A and B are shown apart, each in its own frame.
Chain A
Amino acid sequence: MKGSQKEKGGTLARWGALLTWLSIAALLLSAMVFVIYMLDQTSSGLVEDDFKEIEGSTWRSEMHIEEYSTISISITSKDDDVSFTLRILDPSDDLYESYTDTTPMIFDLSAGESGSYQFLLTIDNGDDFKDLSITIYSYSFGILFMCCGVSSLGLVFMALIITGFVLLMVAIYQRNRRPKVLLRPDAHFQQGSGYRPIRNNYPDQEVGPYGYRYPPQQYQDPYQNSRRFDR
């Protein structure tokens, strides 16, 4: 059978549905790559148990950080306003940053060079260090990771969802396009006699396009499909 309007709509709808679902898969895959990367960075970070006391009220820990990374630091406590000083020493043991603050403190800073950074934490008002909850980790979005991982999948997502959306809209347009109308063979002789034209593309429906019922037996016309008239 020659490709009819209904078939065209059907094919487009199938492809549209497939592409929109594939776009969601690409989006989730992209999210998964990003999450795995971030979790992997966190897992190599520091927590409060990694700090060792070096002198009264001062604890020390160190971590290797790649160049141009972002260092994410979170220091919280059950009871707020624990006063502390955090000093960060760079790989050449020079003071890189120093912060005096109270909990909660959550912030990010950038690391310049690659190497082992030291974190020295001094509790100023003598509170117990074990009350603190500390998380320090670093992450860097390398060009390879961003291009090959998240960005490319993001672009694939955009391409798929836009194409899928367009296909679905075209399918809806084709499906809704005003169909050609079949009249009974003698309908043109009966215009104005109360007879209404019927469409033949709803063969399985008991309710016609204008909302009135037309049981098939009402029109037992052997010539029903023999002639075609445009409206």
Chain B
Amino acid sequence: MSLAVSMLFGLLVVILPFISFSVWALLFMSLFPYSRKTFPLSIFLKEWGATAKFISLGLIPLFLLASSMISAGISIVLELGFALVASMVFAGDTNITLMTVLMSAGPIEESAKLLCAALIYMTVFLIWKKRPQMAKRRNRVKDGLIIGLLAGASFGLLESILYMFSGFNTLISRPLTLSTIDPLIWRFTLGVSLHAVYTGLASAGLGRSTLMKKVAFTSIFLSAATILHSLNNGIQGYFTLYSDIEGITQIIITDIIQFGLAASAVVLFIVLWKTSGPDQGENGN
């Protein structure tokens, strides 16, 4: 394999997740016009004019980078710790250990991403509190959902780059088959967006008006996101480690179930968005 192929694959490893992110962001903004007022992070700066637009533009990569680093850092540490404990508890049974580790990614990653979304929302909230005129004619619940989407997408970008590297690493040393290309297709289509939607769901409570509502919505939708995420990982693990179904059939069945789970997460998010009050809603719902 020549250096040119390595360079092409290296370029794709970094570029594909960003293309996926951009396509999904544009699709989202065209479907939900309110997000154009908020995305990308001009929530607390939109009234300021030209200077604020540049400040907002400059803050986007900082927010994305900080969010991905914090959530990925927390996730890696906790998942490694959990894997260590699982390997000691289920010593001797590799399959159960692997399944437990795969399933644990759901609660750990969703909590870490929600933490980042909450930190960003708190920053925005403090600025809104200082300058109340900026919070007028805004729907805070939808702003919370969008912040969740961004926090999730930033984590998804980082993770997708790592998985893309792993996928192309396999592709470069093995023949082009469905089993080698499938992980790349899956990561390109859903790697970034699914993480975004899960965190969007988990952020349902951020913009609520009372503490009770915040706690209730966060509990319900964080659980939903966690279950969907764990199921998504668990299905992959089950078919790889336990099922007798092999080859192309295994890949297709796994993909169908995973795309079904992704579709249910998207439907749940759309329902949440549609029931979050009018776009011009005043301070909380």
Interface assignment of B172: CB less than 8 Å from any CB of chain A: yes
The one of B48, B61, B94 that contacts A20, using a Cβ cutoff of 8 Å: B61
The one of B14, B55, B174 that contacts A171, using a Cβ cutoff of 8 Å: B55
Are the C-beta atoms of B54 and A42 separated by less than 8 Å? no
The one of B3, B55, B94, B136 that contacts A40, using a Cβ cutoff of 8 Å: B3
Chain B contacts for A18, CB-based, 8 A = 58
Q: What's the count of A-B pairs with C-beta under 8 Å?
A: 107
Complex formed: what's the CA distance from A205 to B61 in Å?
29
Could you mark each residue 84-98 of chain B with 1 if its beta carbon is under 8 Å from any beta carbon of chain A, else 0? Answer: 000000000011000
* Complex interface residues of chain A between 1 and 20 (CB less than 8 A to chain B): 6, 9-10, 13-14, 16-20
Interface assignment of A138: CB less than 8 Å from any CB of chain B: no
* Complex interface residues of chain A between 150 and 175 (CB less than 8 A to chain B): 161, 164-165, 167-168, 171-172, 175
Task: Contacts A42-B172, A43-B173 given; indicate if A17 touches B62 (C-beta within 8 A).
Answer: no
Please choose the segment from A28-36, A179-187, A217-225 that sits at the chain B interface, where 4 or more of its residues have CB less than 8 A away: A28-36
Interface size class, chain B? 35 or more
Least distance between B50 CB and chain A CB atoms (Å): 6
Interface assignment of B132: CB less than 8 Å from any CB of chain A: yes
Complex formed: what's the CA distance from A27 to B66 in Å?
13
Chain B contacts for A168, CB-based, 8 A = 55, 58-59, 62
Complex formed: what's the CA distance from A45 to B1 in Å?
10
Are the C-beta atoms of B58 and A164 separated by less than 8 Å? yes
The one of A31, A161, A207, A211 that contacts B62, using a Cβ cutoff of 8 Å: A161
Are the C-beta atoms of B58 and A13 separated by less than 8 Å? yes
Q: Is the interface of A mostly helix, strand, loop or mixed?
A: helix
Please choose the segment from B161-169, B182-190, B197-205, B206-214 that sits at the chain A interface, where 4 or more of its residues have CB less than 8 A away: B161-169
Are the C-beta atoms of A13 and B169 separated by less than 8 Å? no
Residue from B9, B48, B54 having most chain A Cβ neighbours under 10 A: B54
Complex formed: what's the CA distance from A35 to B55 in Å?
32
Chain A contacts for B50, CB-based, 8 A = 10
Interface assignment of A21: CB less than 8 Å from any CB of chain B: yes
Chain A contacts for B57, CB-based, 8 A = 17, 21
Least distance between B225 CB and chain A CB atoms (Å): 27
Chain B contacts for A205, CB-based, 8 A = 47
* Complex interface residues of chain B between 1 and 56 (CB less than 8 A to chain A): 1, 3, 5-7, 9-11, 13-14, 47-52, 54-55
Query: In chain A, what residue has the closest Cβ to B175?
Result: A49
Are the C-beta atoms of A104 and B94 separated by less than 8 Å? yes
Are the C-beta atoms of B168 and A39 separated by less than 8 Å? yes
Chain A contacts for B55, CB-based, 8 A = 13, 16-17, 168, 171-172, 175
Interface assignment of A80: CB less than 8 Å from any CB of chain B: yes
Chain A contacts for B59, CB-based, 8 A = 20, 168
Complex formed: what's the CA distance from A207 to B135 in Å?
13
Could you mark each residue 136-171 of chain B with 1 if its beta carbon is under 8 Å from any beta carbon of chain A, else 0? Answer: 100000000000000000000000010001001100
Least distance between A61 CB and chain B CB atoms (Å): 13
Residue from B52, B132, B136 having most chain A Cβ neighbours under 10 A: B52
Least distance between A206 CB and chain B CB atoms (Å): 10
Complex formed: what's the CA distance from A152 to B136 in Å?
46
Chain A contacts for B47, CB-based, 8 A = 205
Interface assignment of A24: CB less than 8 Å from any CB of chain B: yes
Chain B contacts for A204, CB-based, 8 A = 49
Are the C-beta atoms of B14 and A20 separated by less than 8 Å? no
Complex formed: what's the CA distance from A43 to B133 in Å?
58
Interface assignment of A118: CB less than 8 Å from any CB of chain B: no
Task: Contacts A168-B59, A211-B133 given; indicate if A39 touches B51 (C-beta within 8 A).
Answer: no
Could you mark each residue 43-79 of chain A with 1 if its beta carbon is under 8 Å from any beta carbon of chain B, else 0? Answer: 1110100000000000000000000000000000010
| A interface list, Cβ under 8 A from B | 6, 9-10, 13-14, 16-21, 23-24, 27-28, 31-33, 35-36, 38-40, 42-45, 47, 78, 80, 104, 135, 137, 161, 164-165, 167-168, 171-172, 175, 204-205, 207, 211
Known interface pairs A28-B14, A33-B10; 11 further A-B residue pairs with C-beta atoms within 8 A, sorted by A's residue number = A13-B52, A17-B54, A27-B65, A35-B168, A36-B6, A38-B169, A39-B172, A43-B1, A47-B173, A80-B95, A211-B133
Q: Which 3 A-B pairs have the closest CB atoms?
A: A17-B58, A36-B10, A43-B1
Contacts A/B (CB < 8 Å), 6 sampled:
A10-B54, A13-B58, A17-B54, A80-B95, A104-B94, A211-B133
